[in-house]
Amino acid sequence: MTSLIAERIAQVRQHLPASVKLIAVTKQVPALAMREAYNAGVRDFGESRIQEAASKQEQLQDLPDITWHLIGTLQSNKAKKALEQFQWIHSVDGLKLAQRLDRLAQQVSCQPQVCLQVKMLSDPNKSGWSVPELLNDLPELNQCSNLKIQGLMTIPPFGLNDSEILSVFERTRELADKIKQQNWSHIQMQQLSMGMSDDYKLAVQAGATMVRLGRILFGGRPTLQ
C-alpha cells in the first residue's frame, strides 16, 4: 500500500520537470514521516532550525544518502554547526555571514554549497540582499573561495497575486543570468531555489531548479498562536 505522503510526492512530481530538485521541507515533521518520503525516493530534506535538524539527523542516521539543506535564517553564532550538519545552505543572507562561513569552511576544510538569498521587493519580514546590495557585494563574495556559491534563493513577500509572484521569480532568474554573464571565478549561478507549496508551479515556470515543499507533502503545520 502506498502511503499518503508517497501519493502526494507522486502528484507533485507530475508537475516537476526531471531537472528540478524536490526538497522536502520537514520543519515540525517527525522523523517517521521523513522516512516515508525517503522511501518514496526523496533524498533532499530542508530544515529551518539547526537544533531540530540535529535531532532528526540522529534519528535518520541509518539513511546515509540524504542531502541536508538549511533553508532558515542562520545566526552567525550557529554558522559552524550549520557547516557540520548541512551540505547546502540556501539562506546566506548577507556579506558578513558569507565571509564567516567562508573562514569556518576553510578551518574545517569543507566546501558548502550555498545560495544567496535575495529580496526582489522590499520585505521587512525577510532577510536577504536587495538587488543593488547584492550587485555591490559580488566582488567580495567572489573572494569567498571556500564556498561553492551555486545560485540565488528567494521568497516572495506575502499577499502577492499570481502574476506578481511570477514576476518576482522571473526577475530572480534574470538577476542570476546577469550575474552569470559577469563571469565571476567563484560565483556560479546555475541554481534557483524558489517555490514553496503555494507557488511552486509559478517558480518552475520561471526556471526554478530547486523547489522547497513542506505542507503540500506533509499536510499543514500547526499554526503558532
Residues that bind ligand PLP (CB under 6 A): 25, 27, 48, 71-72, 155, 196-197, 212-216
Q: Using CB atoms, what's the residue nearest to ligand PLP?
A: 214
CB of 48 to ligand PLP, least distance (A): 5
Backbone angles phi, psi at 208, to 5 degrees: -55, 145
User: Which residue, 48 or 59, has its beta carbon nearer to ligand PLP?
Assistant: 48
Place of cell 539547526: 50
Query: Closest CB to ligand PLP among 16 and 196?
Result: 196
Give least dist CB 23 to ligand PLP, A.
8
- Tell me the closest approach of the beta carbon of residue 77 to ligand PLP, in angstroms: 20
By beta-carbon proximity to ligand PLP, the closer residue of 80 and 215 is: 215
C-alpha R_g of the chain: 17
DSSP letter at 66 equals P
Shortest distance, position 155 Cβ to ligand PLP, whole Å:
6
By beta-carbon proximity to ligand PLP, the closer residue of 19 and 125 is 125
Nearer to ligand PLP, 90 or 173 (CB): 90
Listed as own residue / partner, the contacts of 84-88 with beta carbons closer than 8 Å and 24 or more positions apart are 84/108, 85/50, 85/53, 85/54, 85/57, 86/47, 86/53, 86/112, 87/112, 87/113, 88/112, 88/113, 88/114, 88/115
The grid coordinates listed for 223 are 499554526
Q: Exposed, middle or buried: residue 11 (CB in 10 Å: 0-12, 13-18, 19+)?
A: exposed
- Supply the minimum distance, in Å, between the C-beta of residue 152 and ligand PLP: 13
